[in-house]
């Protein structure tokens, strides 16, 4: 790691005993030959990979593919290809049955990649996993690295109003609320996201100065899947949403997101029906202009104009049928009626006995 000032360089040099650790390692000619990548001292600003001093070289503890992966990592580290070197070291760590001293090399890669919070986690894993197998010098070097890294890390103190919400730091899962484990933030611009199903995500971008704690309070709000619909129709038209009449002429209101059936009806007009899709937080306006039913004009003419004509004709006919006419002269005296027969005529007088 290239430091920004000579003062910083001297402080890190004094806090991390990289060179002292490797002097012991290089004292073994066998290890020097087997690990050419450790041929230089390891000050913090130009660290070369290698485990702290140990009674038995790490390379002798590894066998087969684990050893091959570890040695490949050393070559990449010497070339300052830390991103790929860490892949090889992590592979060697898994294949070796999680030999704890491989974590030292992983921690050095993390340091160069400025993943300071992971350096602390890795070194703490080394101290815990190594147990009595670690020498006093190895422990001393590990503790020195922890002390040198802490100024570049802040502890996250997070208070969330909802339980069991997921917490992400720079896109990586960091636990669930309430956090039951330590969450560390590297120096620099960090992004903290809190997410829970049924609630809106909250994302906070914060510049971390390093050292101490960073306190954040997050309030999650319930996620409402609704949109707003505005319907404009004729003044006397009825508006129905999903089979329920909601207004006349115009209507505006919130509806759950998804599909809805809009129906607009009016007297002597063709009904309008359509499926309306609303998205979350969408405002949608629908203008409806109904059209007349086919034939309504003729019917109204028949009832208005034609009906009047029929009425007038009926009046004329009635006058013709019921008007009085002058009597027609006849040959039968009043009160009698002539009944015709073959032999002659028979006259019957009304009101007389027969």
pTM: 0.54
pLDDT in tens, 255-267: 999 999 999 999 9
> From the CA atom positions of the chain, what is the Rg in Å?
51
What gap in Å lies between CA 187 and CA 4, rounded to an integer? 15
Q: CA angle, corner 214, sides to 208 and 220, nearest 5?
A: 110
pLDDT in tens, 208-265: 999 889 999 999 999 888 999 999 999 999 999 999 999 999 999 999 999 999 999 9
| Cβ–Cβ < 8 Å for 289, 269 | no
What gap in Å lies between CA 89 and CA 69, rounded to an integer? 7
Q: What is the mean pLDDT of residues 111-126?
A: 94
Q: Which helix (H) or strand (E) holds 286?
A: strand 283-287
Among residues 70, 50, 74, 58, the alpha carbon closest in space to that of 134 is found at: 58
Q: Which of 19-33, 35-49, 246-260 has the lowest mean pLDDT?
A: 19-33
| Structural domains of the chain in order of their starting residue, each with its CATH number | 6-151 (1.25.40), 152-218 (2.60.40.10), 226-287 (2.60.40.10)
What gap in Å lies between CA 53 and CA 46, rounded to an integer? 18
């Amino acid at each position: 790691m290239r430091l920004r000032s000579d003062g910083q360089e001297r402080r890190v040099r004094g806090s991390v005993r990289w060179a002292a650790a490797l002097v012991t390692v290089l004292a073994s000619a066998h290890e020097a030959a087997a690990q050419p990548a450790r041929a230089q001292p390891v000050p913090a600003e130009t660290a070369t990979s290698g485990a702290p001093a140990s009674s038995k070289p790490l390379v002798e503890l590894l066998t087969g593919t684990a050893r091959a992966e570890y040695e490949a990592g050393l070559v990449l580290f010497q070339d300052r290809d830390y991103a790929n070197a860490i892949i090889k070291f992590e592979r060697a760590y898994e294949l070796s049955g999680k030999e704890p001293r491989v974590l030292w090399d992983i921690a050095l890669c993390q340091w160069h990649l400025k993943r300071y919070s992971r350096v602390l986690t890795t070194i703490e894993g080394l101290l815990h996993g190594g147990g009595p197998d670690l020498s006093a010098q190895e422990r001393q070097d590990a503790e020195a690295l922890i002390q040198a890294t802490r100024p570049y890390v802040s502890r996250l103190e997070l208070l969330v109003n909802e339980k069991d919400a997921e917490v992400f730091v720079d896109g990586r899962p960091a636990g669930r609320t309430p956090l039951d484990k330590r969450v560390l933030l590297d120096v620099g611009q960090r992004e903290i996201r809190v997410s829970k199903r049924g609630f809106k995500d909250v994302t906070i971008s914060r510049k971390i100065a390093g050292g101490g704690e960073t306190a954040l309070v997050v309030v999650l709000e319930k996620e409402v899947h609704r949109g707003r619909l505005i319907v404009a129709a004729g003044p006397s038209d009825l508006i129905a949403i999903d089979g329920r009449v909601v207004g006349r002429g115009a209507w505006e209101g919130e509806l759950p997101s998804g599909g809805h059936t809009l129906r607009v009806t009016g007297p002597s007009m063709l009904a309008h029906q359509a499926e309306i899709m609303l998205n979350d937080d969408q405002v949608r306006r629908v203008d409806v202009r109904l059209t007349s039913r086919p034939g309504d004009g003729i019917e109204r003419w028949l009832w208005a104009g034609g009906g009047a004509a029929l009425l007038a004709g009926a009046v004329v006919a009635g006058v013709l049928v019921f008007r009085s006419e002058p009597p027609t002269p006849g040959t039968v005296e009043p009160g009698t009626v002539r009944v015709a027969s073959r032999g002659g005529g028979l006259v019957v007088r009304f009101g007389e006995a027969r």
